[in-house]
């Protein structure tokens, strides 16, 4: 299909008068900063239990606006820039910027255990890049694309779809604690769309904001009927999902583990592997599970 790029740009910017193509590029696409040096020797942060390694990047005219103390980013593989799959190897944080040498130093971390950091460092090399989201839009754009892709997949599979509002006025009723309602043959089921855990993509991230109704940051089993977990962080394909029923595994053989402290809640980081008896490749496979 031939694309009219001028028309496409006009549609994308019709709400944002005055936005030029470079504005869209910088807002939607993170920049890639080459690694200047990488020291894989692991150290412990003084006074904390966190483990880190260190790195440095050069400050130049392309990134000086962003390279400041405290700035965070993601280390991504060089292969991604050559047509390979995007993935997060580890996280990076700028700790100090030397304006005389134009070299910034920082820490490499994963947010997990020392073993997870060691595993990430085995993969990370000086040929890779520190990816920095210039205006904080990347996570929201990814979330939107994931939900769009889920809705298209559900529609193609013959389900009627309703996307639930992100907020709810108090006088209109209670907040929906799920993202979509799917309907087929007069049956409606609630679907919560989630992602993998960014620091270890072997696990799903089934989290929820803590409120008066939620004692912990895990999802409740009763909140939704189906979990749809985007596998993008593992496969690099926005249309890849794993599906599971929101039921405890001590009640249903295909269910998910409970939170150890709050048994009415789901374990927020369960392993996620299609074919393991819990996670399935399509909505149809989980729809009829009783």
Task: State the CATH class of domain 138-287.
Answer: alpha beta
Classify domain 28-132 at the CATH topology level.
Elongation Factor Tu (Ef-tu); domain 3 (2.40.30)
Residues 249 and 187: their CA atoms lie apart, in Å, by 24
> Contact at 8 Å (CB) between 110 and 89?
no
Ordered by start, the domain boundaries in the chain are 28-132, 138-287
The pLDDT tens digits along the chain (290 residues) read 788 988 988 888 899 988 898 999 999 999 999 999 999 999 988 877 789 999 999 999 999 999 999 999 999 999 999 988 888 999 999 999 999 999 999 999 987 788 989 999 999 999 999 999 999 999 899 999 999 999 999 999 999 999 988 776 577 666 678 899 999 999 999 999 999 987 678 899 998 888 777 888 898 999 999 999 999 988 989 999 999 999 999 999 999 999 989 999 999 999 999 999 999 999 999 999 97
Number of CB atoms found within 10 A of residue 22's CB:
8
Residues 273 and 243: their CA atoms lie apart, in Å, by 10
Number of CB atoms found within 10 A of residue 154's CB:
20
Q: What's CA 103's distance to the chain center, in Å?
A: 30
């Amino acid at each position: 299909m031939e694309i009219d790029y001028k028309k496409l740009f006009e549609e994308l910017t019709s709400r944002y008068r005055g936005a030029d193509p470079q504005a869209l590029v910088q807002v939607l696409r993170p920049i890639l900063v080459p690694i200047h040096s990488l020291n894989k020797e692991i150290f412990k942060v003084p006074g904390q239990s966190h483990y880190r390694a260190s790195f440095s990047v050069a400050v130049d005219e392309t990134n000086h606006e962003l390279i400041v103390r405290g700035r965070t980013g993601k280390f991504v593989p060089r292969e991604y820039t050559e047509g390979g799959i995007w993935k997060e190897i580890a996280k990076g944080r700028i700790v100090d910027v030397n304006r005389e040498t134009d070299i910034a130093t920082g820490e490499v971390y994963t947010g997990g255990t020392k073993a997870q950091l060691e595993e990430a460092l085995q993969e990370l090399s000086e040929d890779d890049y520190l990816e920095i989201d210039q205006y904080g839009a990347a996570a929201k754009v990814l979330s939107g694309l994931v939900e769009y892709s889920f809705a298209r997949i559900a529609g193609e599979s013959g389900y009627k779809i309703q996307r639930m509002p992100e907020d709810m006025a108090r006088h209109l009723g209670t907040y929906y604690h799920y993202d979509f309602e799917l309907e087929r043959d007069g049956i409606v089921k609630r679907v919560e769309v989630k992602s993998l855990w960014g620091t270890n993509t072997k696990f799903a991230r089934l989290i929820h904001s803590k409120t008066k109704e939620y004692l912990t940051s895990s999802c409740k089993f009763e909140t939704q009927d189906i979990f749809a977990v985007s596998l993008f962080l593992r496969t690099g394909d926005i249309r890849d999902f794993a599906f599971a029923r929101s039921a405890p595994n001590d009640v249903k053989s295909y269910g998910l583990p409970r939170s150890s402290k709050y048994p009415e809640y789901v374990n927020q980081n369960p392993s996620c592997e299609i074919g393991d008896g819990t996670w399935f490749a399509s909505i149809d496979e989980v729809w009829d599970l009783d």
